């Protein structure tokens, strides 16, 4: 559970609260100190601040007040007795070994009661939607995450009609039919900005698009790919299906009783300003027919399979796509140290663009 204790105070920067998070690396007159400064979020979170797992009401500066926290943000009391008690600070108090001074009368320092809460992962299942719709939605969500209009990480869970996507590393010959032929068969072809080679989406496949701010986690895309793999491995484990990584390859694999290896999930991501989009496609109960037109992920000789097929072959009960949707959301929350909650309707306008 990702939770920190913060000390709020006002800085000289307009509409900014600085919080002593114990691990900050940027911001205002406390540059370089163990302090992080967080500017005002636009929209519904205006006059409230979120950082390190705790929401702080804005100080009543310049006569503005915000709506109640409860109307803006899911939260629960998770006070940890090991955390120090919240403390108020005032003019002359010491913060990180430095004396804090009230910048001016226009910035009154008011007592602020902290609200301890877990850091959230918004989950938004959308069912079967066109690829282009989901692609545009991801880009809007990533832009909102970068700007702060979307205050939490987001996980989109979808299925797509048949589509072949060509990543930046797609090699000639990995698409085994022309785009014109595939379009005539009702299979879309899209060149996209994600990493990786050619991949396939089709009904019965669960596609998860994490919109994750890696600045909040770890600024390392290789680390992130391993975490996404772990999300899928962790989601399948409760159903008895043992899956694993393969060194040097990205994705999630299952080894059969005869030691043959099949691939269940393909991963390709993109990031801007350390915010991710695109994601992982898990074959659940799809018929795999669209894969016949590709060299999946550009791996010669790879055998694609589905969760349903491998569960049946192993004598296991095959989970439904709806069950795996829930399991992937919970596994993602666990892996990234978040709590999965339904996407709040208050932010729908952010995604609508």
Q: Identify whether 2 is part of a domain.
A: no
Q: Are 266 and 296 in contact (CB under 8 A)?
A: yes
**Mean pLDDT, rounded, for 27-47:** 26
* Total structural domains within the chain: 2
Give the strand pairing for 339-342 and 198-201. unpaired
Q: How many residues does the chain have?
A: 353
For residue 21, which of 63, 64, 58, 51 has the smallest C-alpha distance? 51
Do 212 and 342 sit in the same domain of this protein? yes
Do 107 and 168 sit in the same domain of this protein? no
Query: Greater confidence, 107 or 320?
Result: 320
Residue 92 confidence (pLDDT): 53
Do 149 and 174 sit in the same domain of this protein? yes
Do 112 and 125 sit in the same domain of this protein? no
pLDDT one-digit tens code per residue, 132-144: 999 999 999 999 9
pLDDT one-digit tens code per residue, 294-352: 999 999 999 999 999 999 999 999 999 999 999 999 999 999 988 899 999 999 999 99
The reply to whether 311 belongs to the active site is: no
Do 31 and 88 sit in the same domain of this protein? yes
Q: How far apart are CA 128 and CA 235, in angstroms?
A: 21
Q: How far apart are CA 279 and CA 143, in angstroms?
A: 16
pLDDT one-digit tens code per residue, 52-70: 333 333 332 222 233 333 3
pLDDT band at 37 (very low <50, low <70, confident <90, very high): very low
Residue 339 confidence (pLDDT): 86
For residue 269, which of 343, 190, 143, 169 has the smallest C-alpha distance? 169
Domain boundary among the residues 84, 116, 148 is at: 116
Q: Are 320 and 247 in contact (CB under 8 A)?
A: no
Three-state SS at 304: strand
Is the pLDDT assigned to residue 125 strictly greater than 50? yes
Residue 61 confidence (pLDDT): 28
For residue 165, which of 194, 137, 139, 144 has the smallest C-alpha distance? 194
Residue 216 confidence (pLDDT): 87
pLDDT band at 104 (very low <50, low <70, confident <90, very high): very low
Domain boundary among the residues 116, 145, 180 is at: 116
Do 146 and 252 sit in the same domain of this protein? yes
Mean of the per-residue pLDDT values of the chain:
75
Residue 76 confidence (pLDDT): 31
Query: Greater confidence, 352 or 8?
Result: 352
Is the pLDDT assigned to residue 40 strictly greater than 60? no
* CA 229 to centroid of chain Cα atoms: 14
Domain boundary among the residues 87, 116, 145 is at: 116
Q: Identify whether 1 is part of a domain.
A: no
Query: Greater confidence, 149 or 97?
Result: 149
Do 106 and 157 sit in the same domain of this protein? no
Do 60 and 188 sit in the same domain of this protein? no
pLDDT one-digit tens code per residue, 169-188: 999 999 999 999 999 999 99
- Residue from 37, 117, 243, 297 carrying the catalytic annotation: 297
Do 265 and 146 sit in the same domain of this protein? yes
For residue 9, which of 111, 86, 115 has the smallest C-alpha distance? 111
Q: Check which CATH number belongs to the domain holding 335 and give it.
A: 3.30.930.10
The pTM of this model reads 0.71
Do 15 and 129 sit in the same domain of this protein? no
Do 145 and 101 sit in the same domain of this protein? no
Three-state SS at 93: coil
Is the pLDDT assigned to residue 32 strictly greater than 90? no
Counts for the chain of helices (H) and strands (E), in that order = 6, 19
Q: Are 116 and 3 in contact (CB under 8 A)?
A: yes
Give the strand pairing for 339-342 and 120-128. parallel
Q: Is 288 exposed, middle or buried (0-12, 13-18, 19+ CB in 10 A)?
A: middle
Q: Identify whether 288 is part of a domain.
A: yes
Q: What is the DSSP letter of 150?
A: S
**Mean pLDDT, rounded, for 255-271:** 97
Domain of 260? 120-352
Do 83 and 173 sit in the same domain of this protein? no
């Amino acid at each position: 559970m990702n939770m920190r204790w913060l000390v709020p105070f006002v800085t000289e920067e307009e509409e900014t609260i600085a919080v002593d998070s114990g691990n900050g690396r940027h911001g205002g007159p406390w540059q370089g100190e163990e302090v992080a400064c967080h500017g005002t979020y636009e929209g519904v979170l205006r006059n409230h601040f979120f950082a390190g797992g705790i929401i702080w009401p804005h100080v009543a500066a310049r006569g503005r007040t915000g709506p109640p926290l409860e109307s803006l943000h899911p939260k629960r009391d998770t006070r940890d007795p090991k955390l120090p008690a919240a403390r108020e600070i005032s003019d002359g108090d010491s913060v990180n070994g430095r004396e804090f001074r009230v910048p001016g009368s226009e910035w009154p320092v008011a007592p602020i009661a902290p609200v301890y809460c877990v850091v959230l992962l918004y989950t938004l299942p959308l069912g079967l939607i066109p690829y282009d719709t989901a692609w545009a939605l991801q880009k809007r969500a990533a832009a909102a995450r970068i700007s702060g209009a979307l205050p939490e990480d987001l996980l989109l869970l979808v299925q797509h009609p048949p589509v072949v996507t060509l990543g930046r590393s797609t090699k000639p010959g990995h698409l085994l039919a022309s785009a014109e032929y595939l379009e005539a068969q009702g299979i879309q072809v899209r060149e996209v900005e994600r990493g990786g080679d050619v991949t396939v989406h089709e009904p019965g496949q669960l596609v998860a698009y994490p919109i994750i701010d890696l600045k909040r986690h770890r600024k390392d895309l290789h680390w992130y790919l391993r975490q996404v793999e772990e999300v899928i491995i962790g989601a399948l484990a409760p159903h008895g299906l043992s899956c694993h990584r393969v060194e040097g390859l990205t994705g999630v694999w299952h080894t059969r009783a005869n030691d043959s290896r099949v691939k269940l999930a393909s991963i390709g991501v993109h990031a801007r300003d350390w915010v991710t989009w695109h994601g992982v496609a898990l074959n659940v109960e799809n018929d795999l027919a669209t894969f016949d037109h590709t060299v999946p992920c550009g791996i010669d000789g790879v055998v694609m399979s589905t969760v349903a097929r491998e569960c049946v072959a192993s004598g296991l009960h095959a989970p439904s796509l709806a069950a795996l949707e829930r399991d992937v959301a919970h596994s993602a929350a666990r892996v990234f140290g978040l709590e999965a909650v339904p996407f709040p309707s208050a932010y729908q306008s952010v995604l609508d663009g």
